[in-house]
Structure 1
Amino acid sequence: MFDLVGRSVLVTGGSKGIGRGIASVFARAGANVAIAARSAGSLDEAVAEVDDLGDGTVIGVRVDVSDRGSCDEMAAAAVEAFGGLDVLCANAGIFPDAPLATMTPAQLDEIMGINVHGTFFAVQACLDALTASGTGRIVLTSSITGPITGYPGWSHYGATKAAQLGFMRTAAIELAPHGITVNAILPGNILTEGLLDNGEDYLASMARSIPAGALGTPEDIGHLAAFLATREAAYITGQAIAVDGGQVLPESLDAIIT
């Protein structure tokens, strides 16, 4: 059960953070993995690291997900390398801070271009290959921020993450006749490079707000993505699943049992 050996997977935004965690889990499970990212330096490093984790083939692909043509080239590269494509993990995203009162049109366009347009374009570019697979899987990386919670400075980010879920529900209906499932993961606070830069005091404060008592890891997201990518998960589609250690559950910090 839950065999991913030989499955071909494309992970956008896969060179660092949650994306690298997703790519690592698939590689350890024996899948062929295409890691797509904008930066050549971080992409080469990620490919070298992930390639050592499993027996499948790992390649790197440069992509700007906000550009449909670039996404088409990305999908074609993965199909050429692996002979097909079974799984798309549409993970690429940015999360810049921008208070609503001072947010510029350029800031809004940038985050919409990558987080929303990038989701549409990546899925569209991979549709033919996923249909040909017969057991195509699409896994979106959304967030608890937007669909469930809010945070000052991230109104534009939250809007993009909620938009992904609206996209998911209709895409799941449209693609079901082709054997393709579409689901989303909603990460909570995950221990990535960006959070580490905030220091130990910040990390300890965040951990205290989570019933599980700790921040998640990129691999925690990867484990759910891997399950949703299996053939056994064929009857799960259009679902948004939070992976947050119970962060969204308490009414207040007083409800956390320590």
Structure 2
Amino acid sequence: MLKPGKLKDQSDRRVALVTGGTRGIGLEIVRRFLADGYQVAFVGTKAEHVERALDILGCPEGQFYAETIDVTRQNEVGEFVDRIRARWGEITILVNNAGISPKRVDQDAPWLSQTSFGEWARVIDVNLNGPFILIRLLAPAMIANGYGRIINVGSVAGRAMPLIAGPHYAASKAGLVGLTRAAARDLAPHGITVNCVAPGRVLSDLTGPPDAQVNRSALSRIPVGRFGTAEEVAYVAAFLASPMAGFITGATIDITGGEFAA
């Protein structure tokens, strides 16, 4: 196990943790990192999703490690982090991708009237408190080593008027942009960058088929005339995770095909 202290060389900067890494964008980020030679730990909330992801990846067992973890449970997350450190040493790259987005039951009724306090609290807990917990857990070792990369996965819903997502999802993703900036300010003097990627409509098993009404409507708002891909988001995350991105921090990179530009 790498003891606290300055990292010795580039090879010590190759341990990544990806939350929500079993499907969609998270799985593609895991796949990209593995292809780039990282040792990658990732988590999901359902055992069957973790097992499916392991089957899909099919790479050498020593290169990745996965568990079923709830990112809102601080003790559970802390114990998982300890197990990663025991295997590979300090985690130098964190991708906060885990998130939930409840669907509207009645399409004709306002979102606010359908959002219970319990549902609101759960979305904020997973989408915003989870990233805060992990940043707090990993930042001390990153500071001690003088190096780190933190990438938060936001959404266009947190950047512009939310046309599909609910108020809890939009608020959590907007909050994630604020957390990114605050953490970037605090951690920049220690060689740690903190950035956010904000995808637009990226098709996956979570968003449904392209011909679904909600997707057809979304497509009409995208200037490039197509949906995004999880692979495109993963490539941006991979660059932000690299040593070459050391002068980028506190930024939100919009991956929306022109739907939103700041």
TM, length-normalised to structure 2 = 0.86
Q: Whole-Å Cα distance in 2 between the matches of residues 78 and 35 of structure 1?
A: 10
Residue deviations 1:96-135 (CA, integer Å, cap 9, x gap): 1351023211011110110111110111122233334432
**1:90/1:140 contact within 8 Å kept:** yes
Q: Find the counterpart in structure 2 of residue 76 from structure 1.
A: 82
Q: Residues 157 and 165 of structure 2 are in contact (CA less than 8 Å); yes or no, is this contact kept in structure 1?
A: no
Question: What SS is found at the alignment partner of 1:171?
Answer: helix
Question: Following the alignment from structure 1 to structure 2, what is the Cα–Cα distance between the partners of residues 212 and 51?
Answer: 34
The CA distance in 2 between the partners of 1:56 and 1:246, in whole Å, is: 40
Aligned residues of 1:188 and 1:244 also touching (Cα < 8 A): yes
C-alpha distance in structure 2 between counterparts of 1:133 and 1:243, whole Å:
31
Match of 1:32 among 33, 39, 42: 39
What letter corresponds to residue 131 of structure 1 in structure 2?
I
Residue in 2 that maps onto 1:50: 57
Whole-Å separation in 1 of the counterparts to 2:165 and 2:32: 32
Partner amino acid for 1:23? V
Distance 1:24-1:112 versus aligned 2 partners, 3 A rule: same
Evaluate the alpha carbon distance shift between residue 167 and residue 214 of structure 1 in structure 2; reply closer, same or farther with a 3 A threshold.
Answer: same
The structure-2 alpha-carbon separation of the partners of 1:189 and 1:159, relative to structure 1 and needing over 3 Å to count, comes to: same
What does residue 107 of structure 2 align with?
none
Q: Give the stretch that moved more between structures: 72-81 or 137-146.
A: 72-81
Conserved in 2, the CA contact under 8 Å of 1:142 and 1:187? yes
Equivalent residues of 2:200, 2:228 under 8 A apart? yes
Helix, strand or coil at the partner of 1:84:
coil
The letter of the residue matching 2:242 is T
Equivalent of 2:200 in 177, 182, 188: 188
- 1:183-231 CA-to-partner distances (Å, cap 9, x unmatched) read 0000000111122257456544433321222111111111011000111
* Counterpart secondary structure, 1:193: coil
Retained in 1: the 8 A contact 2:45–2:69?
A: yes
**What is the distance in 1 between the residues matched to 2:54 and 2:143?**
27
Shift of 1:153: 5.4
Q: Does the CA-based 8 Å contact 1:33-1:56 persist in structure 2? A: no
* 1:126 counterpart (138, 142, 149): 138
1:1-258 equivalences under 5 Å are 7-52=14-59, 57-98=63-104, 99-151=111-163, 154-197=166-209, 199=211, 202-248=214-260
Residue identity matched to 2:38: A
**Farther off after superposition, 88-97 or 170-179:** 170-179
CA distance in 2: counterparts of 1:56 and 1:209, whole angstroms:
43
Q: Contact between 1:66 and 1:113, CA under 8 Å: does it hold in 2?
A: yes
| CA deviations over 1:127-174 (Å, ceiling 9, x no partner) | 233334432000000111022231255111100000011111111111
SS at 2:183's partner residue? helix
Moved more, 199-208 or 133-142: 199-208
Task: Give the partner amino acid of 1:193.
Answer: D
Q: CA deviation at 1:78?
A: 2.0
Q: Structure 1 length as normaliser, TM-score?
A: 0.87
Percent pairwise identity: 32
Alpha-carbon distance in 2 for matches of 1:61, 1:170: 29
Distance 1:69 1:5, change over 3 A: closer
What amino acid is aligned across from residue 71 of structure 1 in structure 2?
Answer: V
Aligned CA distance change for structure 1 residues 55 and 247 (closer, same or farther; 3 Å)? farther
Query: Taking structure 1 as reference, are residues 27 and 197 closer, same or farther at Cα in structure 2, changes over 3 Å only?
Result: same
* 8 Å contact kept, 2:93–2:148: yes
Question: Take 2:142 and 2:50, find their aligned partners in 1: how far apart are those partners?
Answer: 24
Question: Matched residues in 2 for 1:219 and 1:193: separation?
Answer: 14
**Aligned residues, how many?**
246
Q: Partner of 2:5 in structure 1?
A: none
Q: In structure 1, list runs of 5 or more residues that go unmatched.
A: 250-258
